[in-house]
Structure 1
Amino acid sequence: MNAPARMVAAGKLLLLGVLALLALAPSEAGVFRWIDSAGHTHYSDRPQPGAQELKLNKLAAPYYYVQRVYDGDTLLLKGDIRVRLLGIDTPEIEGRYRLEQAGGSSARDWLRQRIEGQKVRLEFDQERHDHYQRLLAHVFTVGGEHLNLLLVEEGLAVVSIFPPNFKYGTQLARAQDRAEADRRGLWSMPDYVPQPILAIPREGYQRGWRRYQGTPVAIRSSRKYARLVFSKQVEVRIPQAQLDLFGKLERYLEKQLEVRGWVSRRKENYSILVRHPSGLKLLF
Protein backbone atom coordinates (compact mmCIF):
# COMPACT_ATOMS: atom_id res chain seq x y z
CA MET A 1 0.00 0.00 0.00
CA ASN A 2 1.45 3.40 -1.00
CA ALA A 3 1.66 6.38 1.36
CA PRO A 4 -1.52 8.18 0.16
CA ALA A 5 -3.52 4.97 0.46
CA ARG A 6 -2.21 4.39 3.96
CA MET A 7 -3.24 7.93 4.92
CA VAL A 8 -6.76 7.36 3.58
CA ALA A 9 -7.05 4.06 5.45
CA ALA A 10 -5.82 5.67 8.66
CA GLY A 11 -8.33 8.47 8.25
CA LYS A 12 -11.15 5.98 7.83
CA LEU A 13 -10.10 4.15 11.00
CA LEU A 14 -10.04 7.42 12.93
CA LEU A 15 -13.51 8.29 11.65
CA LEU A 16 -14.82 4.88 12.65
CA GLY A 17 -13.36 5.44 16.11
CA VAL A 18 -15.17 8.76 16.44
CA LEU A 19 -18.45 7.20 15.32
CA ALA A 20 -18.04 4.39 17.83
CA LEU A 21 -17.42 6.87 20.63
CA LEU A 22 -20.54 8.80 19.74
CA ALA A 23 -22.60 5.63 19.70
CA LEU A 24 -21.33 4.46 23.08
CA ALA A 25 -21.06 7.73 24.96
CA PRO A 26 -24.01 9.21 26.90
CA SER A 27 -26.03 11.71 24.89
CA GLU A 28 -24.54 14.65 26.83
CA ALA A 29 -20.93 13.55 26.28
CA GLY A 30 -18.60 15.20 23.79
CA VAL A 31 -15.78 13.75 21.71
CA PHE A 32 -12.26 15.09 22.27
CA ARG A 33 -9.24 15.00 19.93
CA TRP A 34 -5.58 15.49 20.74
CA ILE A 35 -2.20 14.82 19.15
CA ASP A 36 0.54 13.14 21.16
CA SER A 37 4.26 13.93 21.10
CA ALA A 38 4.81 11.45 18.26
CA GLY A 39 2.25 13.21 16.09
CA HIS A 40 -0.45 10.54 16.43
CA THR A 41 -4.08 11.69 16.65
CA HIS A 42 -6.31 10.28 19.40
CA TYR A 43 -10.03 10.50 20.19
CA SER A 44 -11.84 9.97 23.49
CA ASP A 45 -15.17 10.68 25.18
CA ARG A 46 -13.19 12.04 28.15
CA PRO A 47 -11.34 15.37 28.08
CA GLN A 48 -7.55 15.23 28.06
CA PRO A 49 -5.00 17.99 28.75
CA GLY A 50 -4.77 20.10 25.61
CA ALA A 51 -7.57 18.20 23.87
CA GLN A 52 -10.01 19.92 21.53
CA GLU A 53 -13.74 19.16 21.84
CA LEU A 54 -15.17 18.38 18.43
CA LYS A 55 -18.39 20.07 17.38
CA LEU A 56 -19.99 17.14 15.61
CA ASN A 57 -23.59 16.79 14.56
CA LYS A 58 -25.38 14.12 16.57
CA LEU A 59 -25.92 10.90 14.70
CA ALA A 60 -29.47 9.70 14.18
CA ALA A 61 -30.34 7.50 17.13
CA PRO A 62 -30.93 3.84 16.33
CA TYR A 63 -34.38 2.34 16.78
CA TYR A 64 -35.11 -1.06 18.24
CA TYR A 65 -37.98 -3.45 17.55
CA VAL A 66 -40.07 -4.37 20.62
CA GLN A 67 -40.78 -8.09 20.61
CA ARG A 68 -42.57 -8.25 23.93
CA VAL A 69 -43.75 -6.15 26.85
CA TYR A 70 -43.25 -8.19 30.01
CA ASP A 71 -44.89 -5.69 32.36
CA GLY A 72 -45.25 -1.95 32.76
CA ASP A 73 -41.53 -1.29 33.13
CA THR A 74 -39.77 -4.18 31.36
CA LEU A 75 -39.38 -4.91 27.63
CA LEU A 76 -37.79 -7.46 25.36
CA LEU A 77 -36.22 -6.07 22.19
CA LYS A 78 -35.22 -7.93 19.06
CA GLY A 79 -31.89 -9.62 19.66
CA ASP A 80 -32.90 -10.88 23.11
CA ILE A 81 -32.22 -7.48 24.71
CA ARG A 82 -34.08 -6.91 27.96
CA VAL A 83 -34.76 -3.31 28.95
CA ARG A 84 -35.80 -1.88 32.33
CA LEU A 85 -37.39 1.58 32.14
CA LEU A 86 -35.39 4.08 34.17
CA GLY A 87 -36.77 6.32 36.89
CA ILE A 88 -40.09 4.54 37.40
CA ASP A 89 -41.68 1.47 38.94
CA THR A 90 -44.97 -0.20 38.05
CA PRO A 91 -46.92 -2.73 40.15
CA GLU A 92 -46.05 -6.39 39.67
CA ILE A 93 -48.15 -8.61 37.45
CA GLU A 94 -49.09 -12.15 38.44
CA GLY A 95 -46.22 -14.59 38.16
CA ARG A 96 -45.35 -18.12 39.05
CA TYR A 97 -44.44 -17.22 42.63
CA ARG A 98 -46.23 -13.90 43.17
CA LEU A 99 -49.69 -12.43 43.16
CA GLU A 100 -50.57 -9.46 41.02
CA GLN A 101 -50.43 -6.04 42.63
CA ALA A 102 -53.20 -3.56 41.97
CA GLY A 103 -52.63 -1.76 38.69
CA GLY A 104 -50.02 -4.18 37.35
CA SER A 105 -52.07 -5.44 34.38
CA SER A 106 -53.25 -1.92 33.54
CA ALA A 107 -49.67 -0.65 33.21
CA ARG A 108 -48.63 -3.67 31.13
CA ASP A 109 -51.62 -3.47 28.81
CA TRP A 110 -51.19 0.28 28.28
CA LEU A 111 -47.55 -0.21 27.30
CA ARG A 112 -48.36 -3.18 25.08
CA GLN A 113 -50.87 -1.16 23.10
CA ARG A 114 -48.33 1.61 22.64
CA ILE A 115 -45.18 -0.21 21.55
CA GLU A 116 -45.42 -4.00 21.26
CA GLY A 117 -44.47 -4.85 17.69
CA GLN A 118 -43.26 -1.27 17.17
CA LYS A 119 -39.88 0.45 17.15
CA VAL A 120 -38.54 2.56 20.00
CA ARG A 121 -35.55 4.77 20.71
CA LEU A 122 -33.49 4.42 23.89
CA GLU A 123 -31.75 7.08 25.97
CA PHE A 124 -29.27 6.01 28.63
CA ASP A 125 -28.08 7.54 31.88
CA GLN A 126 -24.97 6.97 34.00
CA GLU A 127 -25.53 3.23 34.50
CA ARG A 128 -26.20 1.06 31.47
CA HIS A 129 -27.22 -2.19 33.21
CA ASP A 130 -28.81 -3.33 36.46
CA HIS A 131 -27.77 -6.39 38.46
CA TYR A 132 -30.05 -8.53 36.29
CA GLN A 133 -28.03 -7.36 33.25
CA ARG A 134 -31.03 -5.52 31.80
CA LEU A 135 -30.40 -2.35 29.86
CA LEU A 136 -31.51 0.72 31.81
CA ALA A 137 -33.12 3.30 29.56
CA HIS A 138 -35.63 6.02 28.93
CA VAL A 139 -37.80 4.75 26.09
CA PHE A 140 -39.25 6.92 23.33
CA THR A 141 -41.65 6.13 20.50
CA VAL A 142 -40.77 6.93 16.91
CA GLY A 143 -43.03 9.97 17.31
CA GLY A 144 -40.98 11.19 20.28
CA GLU A 145 -43.31 10.26 23.17
CA HIS A 146 -41.40 9.65 26.40
CA LEU A 147 -42.99 6.46 27.70
CA ASN A 148 -41.43 6.53 31.18
CA LEU A 149 -42.92 9.99 31.66
CA LEU A 150 -46.31 9.09 30.19
CA LEU A 151 -46.67 6.07 32.49
CA VAL A 152 -46.20 8.39 35.46
CA GLU A 153 -48.54 11.01 33.97
CA GLU A 154 -51.27 8.39 33.64
CA GLY A 155 -50.86 7.20 37.22
CA LEU A 156 -49.71 3.79 36.00
CA ALA A 157 -46.21 4.10 37.47
CA VAL A 158 -44.53 5.83 40.40
CA VAL A 159 -41.23 7.66 40.42
CA SER A 160 -38.33 5.47 41.55
CA ILE A 161 -34.99 7.20 41.06
CA PHE A 162 -31.80 5.27 41.76
CA PRO A 163 -28.74 7.52 41.92
CA PRO A 164 -26.60 8.22 39.97
CA ASN A 165 -29.35 8.01 37.30
CA PHE A 166 -31.00 11.42 37.60
CA LYS A 167 -31.91 12.12 33.96
CA TYR A 168 -35.48 13.47 33.64
CA GLY A 169 -35.86 13.23 37.43
CA THR A 170 -37.43 16.67 37.76
CA GLN A 171 -39.90 16.04 34.93
CA LEU A 172 -40.88 12.67 36.39
CA ALA A 173 -41.45 14.13 39.86
CA ARG A 174 -43.65 16.91 38.45
CA ALA A 175 -45.63 14.40 36.41
CA GLN A 176 -46.22 12.36 39.56
CA ASP A 177 -47.46 15.44 41.41
CA ARG A 178 -49.99 16.06 38.62
CA ALA A 179 -51.17 12.45 38.57
CA GLU A 180 -51.57 12.44 42.35
CA ALA A 181 -53.47 15.75 42.34
CA ASP A 182 -55.84 14.42 39.67
CA ARG A 183 -56.14 11.01 41.39
CA ARG A 184 -55.26 9.17 38.22
CA GLY A 185 -54.54 5.46 38.16
CA LEU A 186 -53.01 4.00 41.30
CA TRP A 187 -53.46 7.32 43.15
CA SER A 188 -57.17 6.48 43.42
CA MET A 189 -56.76 2.78 44.28
CA PRO A 190 -57.54 1.56 47.83
CA ASP A 191 -54.33 -0.51 47.90
CA TYR A 192 -52.22 2.65 47.80
CA VAL A 193 -54.08 4.78 50.33
CA PRO A 194 -51.52 5.93 52.96
CA GLN A 195 -51.34 3.80 56.11
CA PRO A 196 -50.02 4.76 59.56
CA ILE A 197 -46.34 3.96 59.64
CA LEU A 198 -46.44 3.09 63.36
CA ALA A 199 -49.02 0.38 62.67
CA ILE A 200 -46.52 -1.70 60.69
CA PRO A 201 -45.13 -3.69 63.67
CA ARG A 202 -48.65 -4.43 64.90
CA GLU A 203 -50.48 -5.09 61.65
CA GLY A 204 -47.62 -6.22 59.40
CA TYR A 205 -47.00 -4.90 55.92
CA GLN A 206 -47.77 -5.72 52.31
CA ARG A 207 -45.09 -6.33 49.74
CA GLY A 208 -44.53 -3.84 46.98
CA TRP A 209 -44.53 -0.07 46.83
CA ARG A 210 -46.69 1.53 49.50
CA ARG A 211 -47.41 4.88 51.17
CA TYR A 212 -47.05 5.43 54.90
CA GLN A 213 -47.62 8.48 57.09
CA GLY A 214 -46.17 9.41 60.45
CA THR A 215 -44.01 11.84 62.40
CA PRO A 216 -40.26 11.28 62.73
CA VAL A 217 -39.05 12.04 66.25
CA ALA A 218 -35.28 11.65 65.98
CA ILE A 219 -32.34 11.39 63.59
CA ARG A 220 -29.63 8.76 63.88
CA SER A 221 -26.57 8.29 61.72
CA SER A 222 -24.17 5.47 60.97
CA ARG A 223 -21.34 5.12 58.50
CA LYS A 224 -23.70 3.98 55.73
CA TYR A 225 -27.08 5.57 56.52
CA ALA A 226 -28.83 8.53 58.05
CA ARG A 227 -32.07 7.49 59.71
CA LEU A 228 -35.36 9.23 60.36
CA VAL A 229 -36.67 7.44 63.44
CA PHE A 230 -40.43 7.01 63.94
CA SER A 231 -40.24 4.53 66.80
CA LYS A 232 -37.88 1.91 68.23
CA GLN A 233 -39.03 -0.47 65.51
CA VAL A 234 -39.67 1.78 62.50
CA GLU A 235 -37.29 4.04 60.59
CA VAL A 236 -36.50 5.48 57.16
CA ARG A 237 -32.96 4.86 55.91
CA ILE A 238 -31.25 7.39 53.62
CA PRO A 239 -27.84 6.41 52.19
CA GLN A 240 -25.10 8.80 53.28
CA ALA A 241 -24.00 8.95 49.64
CA GLN A 242 -27.33 10.59 48.71
CA LEU A 243 -27.85 12.68 51.84
CA ASP A 244 -26.95 15.97 50.11
CA LEU A 245 -30.03 15.59 47.90
CA PHE A 246 -32.34 15.93 50.92
CA GLY A 247 -30.99 19.05 52.57
CA LYS A 248 -31.11 19.18 56.36
CA LEU A 249 -33.07 16.24 57.73
CA GLU A 250 -34.08 18.33 60.73
CA ARG A 251 -36.76 19.94 58.58
CA TYR A 252 -38.67 16.63 58.68
CA LEU A 253 -38.61 16.26 62.48
CA GLU A 254 -41.88 16.51 64.39
CA LYS A 255 -43.81 17.06 61.17
CA GLN A 256 -46.35 14.89 59.38
CA LEU A 257 -44.48 13.06 56.66
CA GLU A 258 -45.52 10.67 53.92
CA VAL A 259 -42.97 8.00 53.07
CA ARG A 260 -43.16 6.18 49.75
CA GLY A 261 -41.31 2.98 49.07
CA TRP A 262 -40.83 -0.66 50.02
CA VAL A 263 -40.80 -1.93 53.59
CA SER A 264 -38.11 -4.37 54.64
CA ARG A 265 -37.97 -6.34 57.87
CA ARG A 266 -35.09 -7.47 60.02
CA LYS A 267 -36.25 -9.47 63.00
CA GLU A 268 -38.82 -7.20 64.66
CA ASN A 269 -37.54 -3.99 63.07
CA TYR A 270 -38.92 -2.35 59.93
CA SER A 271 -37.38 0.18 57.59
CA ILE A 272 -37.98 1.89 54.28
CA LEU A 273 -34.99 2.73 52.11
CA VAL A 274 -35.34 6.13 50.42
CA ARG A 275 -32.67 7.11 47.88
CA HIS A 276 -34.25 10.30 46.50
CA PRO A 277 -36.36 13.15 47.93
CA SER A 278 -39.30 12.08 45.76
CA GLY A 279 -39.79 9.29 48.33
CA LEU A 280 -40.64 11.80 51.09
CA LYS A 281 -43.48 14.30 51.14
CA LEU A 282 -44.13 16.83 53.89
CA LEU A 283 -47.85 17.11 54.67
CA PHE A 284 -49.24 20.51 55.49
Structure 2
Amino acid sequence: MASFRKSTAVRPDLQPARAAWHATVFERHACGARVLLWCLFLFLSAQAAADVEWRRGEVVKFIDGDTLVLHSGETIRLVGINTPEMATDDRPAEPLALEARDALAAQLADGQVLIEDAPQPRDRYGRTLAYLFRTDGASVQEALLGKGLASAVVILPNDRYLDRFIRAEQAAHRAERGIWALPYYAPAPAGEIRGGYQFVRARLSRIEMGKKWFAFSVEKDLVILVRRSEWEAGFAYPPGALDQATIAVRGWFSKKKARVTLVINHPFMLERCGIDPQRLCSGD
Protein backbone atom coordinates (compact mmCIF):
# COMPACT_ATOMS: atom_id res chain seq x y z
CA MET A 1 0.00 0.00 0.00
CA ALA A 2 1.33 3.42 -0.88
CA SER A 3 1.98 5.68 2.08
CA PHE A 4 1.14 9.39 2.04
CA ARG A 5 2.85 11.50 4.66
CA LYS A 6 0.72 14.49 3.80
CA SER A 7 -2.41 15.21 1.84
CA THR A 8 -1.63 15.92 -1.79
CA ALA A 9 -3.80 17.41 -4.51
CA VAL A 10 -4.81 14.94 -7.19
CA ARG A 11 -6.79 15.34 -10.38
CA PRO A 12 -6.09 13.11 -13.41
CA ASP A 13 -6.07 9.70 -11.71
CA LEU A 14 -9.39 10.22 -9.90
CA GLN A 15 -11.69 10.48 -12.92
CA PRO A 16 -13.21 6.96 -12.52
CA ALA A 17 -13.95 7.57 -8.84
CA ARG A 18 -15.30 11.03 -9.50
CA ALA A 19 -17.57 9.64 -12.19
CA ALA A 20 -19.01 7.13 -9.73
CA TRP A 21 -20.21 9.98 -7.52
CA HIS A 22 -21.37 12.49 -10.13
CA ALA A 23 -22.81 9.83 -12.50
CA THR A 24 -22.95 11.79 -15.73
CA VAL A 25 -23.36 9.55 -18.78
CA PHE A 26 -22.86 10.64 -22.39
CA GLU A 27 -24.07 8.64 -25.35
CA ARG A 28 -22.00 8.83 -28.49
CA HIS A 29 -24.30 10.52 -30.95
CA ALA A 30 -24.45 13.82 -32.72
CA CYS A 31 -26.45 16.55 -31.10
CA GLY A 32 -29.34 17.35 -33.41
CA ALA A 33 -31.58 20.34 -33.15
CA ARG A 34 -33.88 18.73 -30.57
CA VAL A 35 -31.15 17.49 -28.26
CA LEU A 36 -28.70 20.37 -28.52
CA LEU A 37 -29.77 22.04 -25.29
CA TRP A 38 -29.83 18.74 -23.41
CA CYS A 39 -26.32 17.90 -24.60
CA LEU A 40 -25.16 21.35 -23.56
CA PHE A 41 -26.65 20.83 -20.10
CA LEU A 42 -24.87 17.49 -19.71
CA PHE A 43 -21.61 18.99 -20.90
CA LEU A 44 -21.79 21.82 -18.38
CA SER A 45 -22.68 19.34 -15.61
CA ALA A 46 -19.64 17.25 -16.48
CA GLN A 47 -17.43 20.32 -16.47
CA ALA A 48 -18.71 21.29 -13.00
CA ALA A 49 -17.98 17.78 -11.75
CA ALA A 50 -14.48 17.88 -13.20
CA ASP A 51 -13.81 21.18 -11.44
CA VAL A 52 -14.24 19.52 -8.00
CA GLU A 53 -10.78 18.90 -6.59
CA TRP A 54 -10.12 15.94 -4.37
CA ARG A 55 -6.92 15.31 -2.50
CA ARG A 56 -5.73 12.05 -1.07
CA GLY A 57 -4.98 11.40 2.59
CA GLU A 58 -3.91 8.52 4.80
CA VAL A 59 -6.00 8.01 7.94
CA VAL A 60 -4.19 7.11 11.16
CA LYS A 61 -6.90 7.61 13.79
CA PHE A 62 -10.69 7.62 14.08
CA ILE A 63 -11.87 9.93 16.87
CA ASP A 64 -15.60 9.24 16.52
CA GLY A 65 -18.14 8.66 13.78
CA ASP A 66 -17.58 12.04 12.15
CA THR A 67 -13.97 12.96 12.99
CA LEU A 68 -10.65 11.44 11.96
CA VAL A 69 -6.95 12.33 11.86
CA LEU A 70 -4.61 12.05 8.88
CA HIS A 71 -0.96 10.98 8.87
CA SER A 72 -0.08 14.63 8.27
CA GLY A 73 -1.68 15.55 11.61
CA GLU A 74 -4.68 17.23 10.00
CA THR A 75 -7.97 16.66 11.84
CA ILE A 76 -11.00 16.35 9.58
CA ARG A 77 -14.61 16.81 10.64
CA LEU A 78 -17.05 15.22 8.18
CA VAL A 79 -19.28 18.10 7.10
CA GLY A 80 -23.02 17.73 6.52
CA ILE A 81 -23.67 15.08 9.16
CA ASN A 82 -23.58 14.52 12.89
CA THR A 83 -23.01 11.21 14.64
CA PRO A 84 -23.59 10.17 18.27
CA GLU A 85 -21.06 11.58 20.73
CA MET A 86 -18.38 9.48 22.36
CA ALA A 87 -17.91 9.50 26.13
CA THR A 88 -16.25 12.49 27.79
CA ASP A 89 -15.09 13.12 31.35
CA ASP A 90 -18.50 14.45 32.36
CA ARG A 91 -20.92 12.42 30.26
CA PRO A 92 -21.25 8.84 28.97
CA ALA A 93 -21.22 7.90 25.33
CA GLU A 94 -24.47 8.34 23.46
CA PRO A 95 -26.16 5.21 22.10
CA LEU A 96 -24.50 3.93 18.90
CA ALA A 97 -21.45 6.20 19.28
CA LEU A 98 -19.05 3.26 19.12
CA GLU A 99 -20.96 1.71 16.23
CA ALA A 100 -20.73 4.97 14.26
CA ARG A 101 -16.96 5.20 14.82
CA ASP A 102 -16.50 1.56 13.85
CA ALA A 103 -18.61 2.05 10.72
CA LEU A 104 -16.44 4.99 9.69
CA ALA A 105 -13.30 2.93 10.27
CA ALA A 106 -14.72 -0.01 8.30
CA GLN A 107 -15.40 2.21 5.29
CA LEU A 108 -11.80 3.40 5.26
CA ALA A 109 -10.18 0.16 6.35
CA ASP A 110 -7.35 0.53 3.84
CA GLY A 111 -6.44 3.89 5.36
CA GLN A 112 -6.90 5.78 2.10
CA VAL A 113 -9.44 8.60 1.73
CA LEU A 114 -10.31 11.19 -0.89
CA ILE A 115 -11.00 14.64 0.55
CA GLU A 116 -13.15 17.42 -0.88
CA ASP A 117 -12.83 20.55 1.23
CA ALA A 118 -16.11 22.28 2.09
CA PRO A 119 -16.79 25.85 0.88
CA GLN A 120 -16.15 27.01 4.46
CA PRO A 121 -13.22 24.70 5.17
CA ARG A 122 -12.57 25.29 8.89
CA ASP A 123 -14.68 25.12 12.03
CA ARG A 124 -14.16 27.13 15.20
CA TYR A 125 -11.89 24.40 16.58
CA GLY A 126 -9.52 24.64 13.61
CA ARG A 127 -10.59 21.31 12.12
CA THR A 128 -10.89 20.85 8.38
CA LEU A 129 -14.51 20.56 7.22
CA ALA A 130 -14.70 18.18 4.28
CA TYR A 131 -16.71 15.70 2.26
CA LEU A 132 -14.97 12.33 2.26
CA PHE A 133 -14.99 9.58 -0.33
CA ARG A 134 -13.55 6.12 -0.58
CA THR A 135 -11.11 5.48 -3.39
CA ASP A 136 -13.96 3.96 -5.44
CA GLY A 137 -15.81 7.29 -5.24
CA ALA A 138 -18.46 6.24 -2.70
CA SER A 139 -19.50 8.98 -0.25
CA VAL A 140 -18.52 8.26 3.35
CA GLN A 141 -21.17 10.63 4.71
CA GLU A 142 -23.93 9.09 2.64
CA ALA A 143 -23.05 5.59 3.82
CA LEU A 144 -23.22 6.59 7.49
CA LEU A 145 -26.58 8.27 6.92
CA GLY A 146 -27.89 5.20 5.14
CA LYS A 147 -26.96 2.99 8.09
CA GLY A 148 -28.83 5.26 10.50
CA LEU A 149 -25.60 6.13 12.30
CA ALA A 150 -25.72 9.83 11.43
CA SER A 151 -28.22 12.59 10.79
CA ALA A 152 -27.98 15.30 8.15
CA VAL A 153 -27.14 18.87 9.20
CA VAL A 154 -26.62 22.13 7.33
CA ILE A 155 -24.61 25.17 8.36
CA LEU A 156 -24.29 27.50 5.40
CA PRO A 157 -22.42 27.80 3.15
CA ASN A 158 -21.70 24.07 3.49
CA ASP A 159 -24.83 22.62 1.86
CA ARG A 160 -23.19 20.63 -0.95
CA TYR A 161 -24.78 17.18 -1.53
CA LEU A 162 -27.67 18.03 0.83
CA ASP A 163 -30.29 16.40 -1.40
CA ARG A 164 -28.33 13.14 -1.46
CA PHE A 165 -27.83 13.25 2.28
CA ILE A 166 -31.54 13.85 2.89
CA ARG A 167 -32.48 10.87 0.74
CA ALA A 168 -30.04 8.61 2.59
CA GLU A 169 -31.35 9.79 5.97
CA GLN A 170 -34.97 9.31 4.93
CA ALA A 171 -34.29 5.76 3.77
CA ALA A 172 -32.74 4.89 7.15
CA HIS A 173 -35.56 6.65 9.00
CA ARG A 174 -38.28 4.76 7.12
CA ALA A 175 -36.50 1.47 7.77
CA GLU A 176 -35.97 2.40 11.45
CA ARG A 177 -32.26 1.75 11.24
CA GLY A 178 -29.75 2.92 13.83
CA ILE A 179 -30.66 6.10 15.72
CA TRP A 180 -34.14 6.14 14.19
CA ALA A 181 -35.08 3.00 16.13
CA LEU A 182 -34.08 4.35 19.56
CA PRO A 183 -36.29 6.42 21.88
CA TYR A 184 -33.18 8.35 22.98
CA TYR A 185 -33.12 10.09 19.60
CA ALA A 186 -36.83 10.82 19.34
CA PRO A 187 -37.58 14.59 19.22
CA ALA A 188 -37.79 15.83 22.81
CA PRO A 189 -40.12 18.52 24.18
CA ALA A 190 -38.56 21.90 24.90
CA GLY A 191 -38.49 21.23 28.64
CA GLU A 192 -36.32 18.12 28.22
CA ILE A 193 -33.41 19.45 26.20
CA ARG A 194 -30.10 17.85 27.21
CA GLY A 195 -27.82 20.33 25.50
CA GLY A 196 -25.52 19.64 22.60
CA TYR A 197 -26.84 18.15 19.38
CA GLN A 198 -30.43 17.02 19.60
CA PHE A 199 -33.84 16.85 17.93
CA VAL A 200 -36.59 18.91 19.58
CA ARG A 201 -40.30 19.27 18.85
CA ALA A 202 -42.35 22.12 20.29
CA ARG A 203 -45.06 24.70 19.68
CA LEU A 204 -43.87 28.26 19.23
CA SER A 205 -45.44 30.83 21.51
CA ARG A 206 -43.77 34.10 20.51
CA ILE A 207 -41.98 35.70 17.58
CA GLU A 208 -39.70 38.74 17.79
CA MET A 209 -38.45 40.33 14.57
CA GLY A 210 -35.43 42.53 15.27
CA LYS A 211 -33.22 44.41 12.85
CA LYS A 212 -30.60 41.66 12.81
CA TRP A 213 -32.26 38.58 14.29
CA PHE A 214 -35.59 36.76 14.25
CA ALA A 215 -36.26 35.06 17.60
CA PHE A 216 -38.81 32.24 17.90
CA SER A 217 -39.61 31.33 21.49
CA VAL A 218 -41.17 28.34 23.21
CA GLU A 219 -42.49 29.77 26.49
CA LYS A 220 -39.44 30.34 28.72
CA ASP A 221 -37.70 27.12 27.75
CA LEU A 222 -36.21 27.73 24.32
CA VAL A 223 -35.39 30.46 21.80
CA ILE A 224 -34.49 29.70 18.18
CA LEU A 225 -32.45 32.42 16.47
CA VAL A 226 -32.11 33.08 12.74
CA ARG A 227 -30.31 36.09 11.27
CA ARG A 228 -32.72 38.30 9.35
CA SER A 229 -30.40 38.33 6.33
CA GLU A 230 -30.18 34.53 6.27
CA TRP A 231 -33.93 34.13 6.67
CA GLU A 232 -34.61 36.49 3.78
CA ALA A 233 -32.04 34.70 1.61
CA GLY A 234 -33.08 31.11 2.28
CA PHE A 235 -36.54 30.67 3.81
CA ALA A 236 -39.49 30.52 1.43
CA TYR A 237 -42.13 31.77 3.87
CA PRO A 238 -42.47 34.81 6.16
CA PRO A 239 -41.49 34.41 9.81
CA GLY A 240 -45.05 35.21 10.85
CA ALA A 241 -46.12 31.91 9.32
CA LEU A 242 -44.61 30.21 12.38
CA ASP A 243 -46.94 31.97 14.81
CA GLN A 244 -48.23 29.26 17.20
CA ALA A 245 -46.86 26.62 14.82
CA THR A 246 -45.72 23.17 15.88
CA ILE A 247 -42.19 22.63 14.65
CA ALA A 248 -39.30 20.20 14.91
CA VAL A 249 -35.72 21.45 14.91
CA ARG A 250 -32.28 19.87 14.89
CA GLY A 251 -28.97 21.37 15.87
CA TRP A 252 -26.63 22.21 18.72
CA PHE A 253 -28.51 23.56 21.72
CA SER A 254 -26.71 25.85 24.16
CA LYS A 255 -27.91 25.73 27.77
CA LYS A 256 -27.24 28.70 30.04
CA LYS A 257 -29.03 28.44 33.35
CA ALA A 258 -32.71 27.93 32.55
CA ARG A 259 -32.48 29.31 29.00
CA VAL A 260 -31.76 27.19 25.94
CA THR A 261 -30.72 28.72 22.62
CA LEU A 262 -30.46 27.24 19.13
CA VAL A 263 -28.96 29.17 16.21
CA ILE A 264 -29.72 27.95 12.67
CA ASN A 265 -29.20 29.42 9.20
CA HIS A 266 -30.86 26.93 6.83
CA PRO A 267 -34.55 25.93 6.47
CA PHE A 268 -33.71 22.21 6.53
CA MET A 269 -32.93 22.57 10.24
CA LEU A 270 -36.46 23.79 11.04
CA GLU A 271 -39.43 21.65 10.02
CA ARG A 272 -43.04 22.84 10.11
CA CYS A 273 -45.08 19.85 11.25
CA GLY A 274 -47.90 19.07 8.86
CA ILE A 275 -46.54 21.40 6.15
CA ASP A 276 -42.93 20.70 5.23
CA PRO A 277 -41.68 17.26 4.09
CA GLN A 278 -42.13 15.22 7.24
CA ARG A 279 -38.89 13.99 8.72
CA LEU A 280 -38.69 14.66 12.46
CA CYS A 281 -42.45 15.33 12.41
CA SER A 282 -43.22 12.03 10.70
CA GLY A 283 -46.45 10.52 11.95
CA ASP A 284 -48.40 13.78 11.83
Could you say which residue in structure 1 is the equivalent of 2:227? Answer: 239
- Conservation of the 8 A alpha-carbon contact between 1:159 and 1:278: no
Q: Quick one: which of 90, 101, 105 aligns to 2:83?
A: 90
Could you say which residue in structure 1 is the equivalent of 2:133? Answer: 140
- Conservation of the 8 A alpha-carbon contact between 1:228 and 1:235: yes
| SS state at 1:125 partner | strand
- Conservation of the 8 A alpha-carbon contact between 1:239 and 1:275: yes
The aligned runs of 1:200-239 (5 Å cut-off) are 200=191, 204-239=192-227
Greater relative contact order: 1 or 2 (C-alpha under 8 angstroms, separation 6 or more)?
A: 2
Could you say which residue in structure 2 is the equivalent of 1:4? Answer: none
- Conservation of the 8 A alpha-carbon contact between 1:263 and 1:270: yes
Matching of residue 69 in structure 1 with residue 67 in structure 2: no
Kindly state the Cα deviation for residue 153 of structure 1 after the two structures are TM-superposed: 1.8
TM-score, normalised on structure 2? 0.72
Kindly state the Cα deviation for residue 59 of structure 1 after the two structures are TM-superposed: 9.4
| 1:121–1:149 CA distance, 2 compared to 1 (3 A) | same
Q: Counterpart of 2:272 in structure 1: which amino acid?
A: L
- Conservation of the 8 A alpha-carbon contact between 2:65 and 2:100: yes
Q: Structure 2: which 5+ residue stretches go unaligned?
A: 1-8, 13-17, 19-46, 275-284
| SS state at 1:227 partner | strand
Could you say which residue in structure 2 is the equivalent of 1:16? Answer: none
Q: Quick one: which of 230, 247, 270 aligns to 1:257?
A: 247
Matching of residue 279 in structure 1 with residue 269 in structure 2: yes
Kindly state the Cα deviation for residue 101 of structure 1 after the two structures are TM-superposed: 1.1
| SS state at 1:173 partner | helix
| 1:193–1:65 CA distance, 2 compared to 1 (3 A) | same
Kindly state the Cα deviation for residue 88 of structure 1 after the two structures are TM-superposed: 0.9
TM-score, normalised on structure 1? 0.72
| Higher Rg | 1
Q: Quick one: which of 268, 274, 279 aligns to 2:258?
A: 268
| SS state at 2:131 partner | strand
Could you say which residue in structure 2 is the equivalent of 1:177? Answer: 170
| 1:249–1:62 CA distance, 2 compared to 1 (3 A) | same
Kindly state the Cα deviation for residue 228 of structure 1 after the two structures are TM-superposed: 1.6
Matching of residue 159 in structure 1 with residue 152 in structure 2: yes
Matching of residue 189 in structure 1 with residue 177 in structure 2: no
| 1:264–1:144 CA distance, 2 compared to 1 (3 A) | same
Q: Counterpart of 2:119 in structure 1: which amino acid?
A: Q
Q: In 2, Cα distance between the equivalents of 1:81 and 1:103?
A: 25
Give CA deviations for 1:183-223 in whole Å, capped at 9, x if unaligned.
221111111112222xx1xxx53133222222213321234
Q: Counterpart of 1:215 in structure 2: which amino acid?
A: R
Q: Structure 1: which 5+ residue stretches go unaligned?
A: 1-19, 28-54
Q: In 2, Cα distance between the equivalents of 1:74 and 1:220?
A: 37
Cα RMSD after superposing both structures? 2.7
Kindly state the Cα deviation for residue 58 of structure 1 after the two structures are TM-superposed: 5.9
Q: Quick one: which of 123, 128, 131 aligns to 2:116?
A: 123
Kindly state the Cα deviation for residue 234 of structure 1 after the two structures are TM-superposed: 2.3
